[in-house]
Amino acid sequence: MLKRFFTTLFKRKGDTEEPVGNFIVAQLNEKVMPIDRGLVYEDPIDEFLKEKQYGEVTGGGTLQEKTGELAYCDIEIKLSTDDIHKSIIADIIDKIETIGAPKGSKLIIEKTKEEISFGKKEGLALYIDGQNLPPEVYAECDINFVLSEIHRLTNIKSNADRNWQGEKETALYFFSDSFEQMKNSILDFIETYPLCKGARIVQIA
């Protein structure tokens, strides 16, 4: 599937010369915008790595599908040791899962090419029709109300911008412990609010 860069993938901080070291990449099955990727994942992970003296975050990127919809994001980590310690890898994965990594994420060890699946959160995408509803629906309804109402119904406290506006649809993304619980919590609202008529609910993690 064709993908293009939203921000530069593996954009490393500091010197322009290629650094030497032992790198791992956390590929997150997350649809989070680049600025929020830094706030939600990169900054806390970097703080954790430095506190534990495991290493540091050296870059990251967010990839898009051909349509422009977010696909996933990557966070690059430089380890402070040349050896791969399984206990350190497990500790890093545990930290990222604690932050909220969705199912379908994976950790890639560059030196060995090993890929380790991880992630606990499940994801729901709500695709709202952006062109086929009556004009008065778009004029009178508010997608921000849809967002806030779903957060209320699911009791999700989100601190990140997770949405995408395409030519034909607008997508809102939500992550929690259970896709089915999220879906069941919002069905009545989706079926009755005019802006959500014909909306698609898709499990994304």
Q: Are residues 101 and 132 in the same domain?
A: no
| Contacting residues for 167 by C-beta, under 8 A, at least 6 apart | 130, 131
Task: Tell me what the mean pLDDT of segment 82-86 comes to.
Answer: 90
Q: Do residue 40 and residue 80 come from a single domain?
A: yes
- Taking the C-alpha atoms of residue 85 and residue 88, their distance in angstroms, rounded to an integer, is 5
Instruction: State the total domains in the chain.
Output: 2
- pLDDT interval class at 161 (50, 70, 90): confident
End-to-end CA distance of the chain: 18
pLDDT at 146: 97
Q: Using the Cα atoms of residue 138, residue 141, residue 144 and residue 149 in order, give the sign of their dihedral.
A: negative
Average pLDDT, the chain: 90
Q: What is the mean pLDDT of residues 175-184?
A: 97
Single out the residue in 53, 84, 118 at which a domain terminates.
118
What pLDDT shows up at residue 10? 43
pLDDT of 175 = 96
Containing structural domain, residue 23: 3-118
Tokens for 44, please give them. Answer: 């806390």
> Which pair of tokens denotes residue 14?
């500091």
Find the CATH number of the domain harbouring 166.
Answer: 3.30.70
Q: Which of 118, 149, 175 is the last residue of a domain?
A: 118
Same domain, 22 and 91: yes
pLDDT for 157 equals 86
Section 31-38 average pLDDT: 91
Residue 66, φ and ψ in degrees, nearest 5: -60, -30
Separation of alpha carbons 115 and 118, rounded Å = 10
Domain boundary among 66, 95, 118: 118
Q: How far apart are CA 93 and CA 100, in angstroms?
A: 11
